[in-house]
Amino acid sequence: MKVCIVGAGAIGGFLGTRLAAAGVPVAALARGATLQALRHHGWRLDGADGPLRAPVAAAADDPAALGRHDLVIVAVKGPALAAVAPQVAALRADGGLVLPAMNGVPWWFCAGRPGFEAPLASVDPGGRIGAAIPLDSVLGAVVHASTTTPEPGLVAHRMGRGLIIGEPSGGRSARAEAVGALLREAGFELTVSDDVRQDVWYKLWGNMTMNPVSAITGATLDRVLADPLVRRFCSAAMDEAAAVGARIGCPIAQSAEDRHALTARLGPIRTSMLQDVDAGRPLELDALVAAVREIAGRVGVPTPNLDALHGLARLFGRVRGLVPEDAAAGPTAA
């Protein structure tokens, strides 16, 4: 299976290196210093298992130079997705698959469901992503790992190798099993899910509060959860999202406190959004927070705590130039 990674950063490099080290030909659509590093050194991953190095099949900033692929793994941050969607389309072979390995509500999440005939403006403004990447080419994914890029093209793996993949509409398929086998072979703890939407919503349930709260405060996850007032606020926002999930076929059986106990086990993690603040990169607020508010609005669930979190994180980002001034000009603006 020919694989191309779009977005060879912390997660893209983690997936790309492990796949390439397992003998899979893995190309990269990358740019700038990351592109130079990949061309010079190939795929590089450092972690508790020691350094892993593997050749990159090809690396370029132009899809035309890379050809077509059976599997295109997209691991950009949410704000970059609309810009790379046409490139993803150009990299995908006829019948090829697209696996977005990203946090938050994906653009395909509500597609085709009653009440969601119009695409989510927060994650797919104008429906351009959905138009470029047909729903029937998508496999949903959830990444349970923590990685960083200490320098362009070099990934540091901190913890976790969990991946969940599945058909957006649920159920089993031969193609999901085939991609699952490939990733399992590359050393990931791989689950092929019957209901990947549920898994996406469950992961989001944590990121939705932990990432923006860590971004605003600069606190690692252990410190976010150690403050009783902050913890209670996060729980209240999570209760709202759980009520939204119950309306869209993604019920959550746990309490927010149950989930905090699991998150606390991760220890002093700098969330990917806190890493973005550190590096001066755009914040993924639309996929992690605005989209939940937009879905809540469509199903009629009030979200006062989530609204407050969105407002604070958005203002924090705007003041630092990490969120555009016109962000969420649509249904989540107010």
Ligand X SMILES: NC(=O)C1=CN([C@@H]2O[C@H](COP(=O)(O)OP(=O)(O)OC[C@H]3O[C@@H](n4cnc5c(N)ncnc54)[C@H](OP(=O)(O)O)[C@@H]3O)[C@@H](O)[C@H]2O)C=CC1
Around Cβ 90, how many Cβ atoms within 10 Å?
16
Q: Can you give the binding site for ligand KPL, defined by CB under 6 A?
A: 103, 146, 206-207, 210-211, 269, 271-272
269's contact among ligand KPL, ligand X, none, with CB below 5 to 8 A by partner kind, is: ligand KPL
Catalytic residue among 44, 161, 203, 298: 203
206's contact among ligand X, ligand KPL, none, with CB below 5 to 8 A by partner kind, is: ligand KPL
68's contact among ligand KPL, ligand X, none, with CB below 5 to 8 A by partner kind, is: none
Taking the complex as a whole, the smallest distance from the CB of residue 61 to ligand X amounts, in Å, to 6
Considering beta carbons, is residue 35 or 237 the nearer one to ligand KPL?
237
Taking the complex as a whole, the smallest distance from the CB of residue 197 to ligand KPL amounts, in Å, to 18
Q: Is 60 in the site for ligand X (CB under 6 A)?
A: no
The CB-nearest residue to ligand KPL is 272
Q: How far apart are CA 153 and CA 147, in angstroms?
A: 12
Considering beta carbons, is residue 35 or 238 the nearer one to ligand X?
35
**In Å, what is the CA distance from 196 to each residue of 105, 109, 145, 163, 202?**
12, 10, 17, 11, 10
Q: Is 262 in the site for ligand X (CB under 6 A)?
A: no
Taking the complex as a whole, the smallest distance from the CB of residue 102 to ligand X amounts, in Å, to 3
Q: Which DSSP string corresponds to 72-109? A: EEE---GGGHHHHHHHHHHHEEEEEEEEE--SS--TTT
Judge whether 77 counts as a catalytic residue: no
Q: How far apart are CA 218 and CA 277, in angstroms?
A: 8
- Of 26, 63, 65, nearest to 45 by C-alpha is 26
Counting residues that bind ligand X (by CB under 6 A) gives 28
130's contact among ligand X, ligand KPL, none, with CB below 5 to 8 A by partner kind, is: none
Residue partners of 302: CB distance under 8 A and separation at least 6? 240, 296
Could you say which of 1, 22, 58, 80 contacts ligand X (CB under 6 A)?
80
DSSP state of 138: B
**In Å, what is the CA distance from 135 to each residue of 154, 215, 308, 309?**
32, 32, 33, 31
Could you say which of 17, 193, 272, 332 contacts ligand X (CB under 6 A)?
272
What φ, ψ does residue 3 adopt, rounded to 5°? -120, 140
303's contact among ligand KPL, ligand X, none, with CB below 5 to 8 A by partner kind, is: none
Q: How far apart are CA 138 and CA 166, in angstroms?
A: 9
Q: How far apart are CA 326 and CA 321, in angstroms?
A: 12
Q: Which residues pair with 138 in a beta bridge?
A: 98
Taking the complex as a whole, the smallest distance from the CB of residue 205 to ligand KPL amounts, in Å, to 10
- Of 182, 100, 83, nearest to 137 by C-alpha is 100
Taking the complex as a whole, the smallest distance from the CB of residue 115 to ligand KPL amounts, in Å, to 28
Taking the complex as a whole, the smallest distance from the CB of residue 173 to ligand KPL amounts, in Å, to 26
**In Å, what is the CA distance from 58 to each residue of 51, 67, 182, 283?**
21, 10, 19, 29
The CB-nearest residue to ligand X is 9
Could you say which of 30, 105, 238, 327 contacts ligand X (CB under 6 A)?
30
Contacts with ligand X by CB under 6 A lie at 7-12, 29-32, 34, 75-78, 80, 83-84, 101-103, 143, 145-147, 149, 272, 284
Catalytic residues: 203
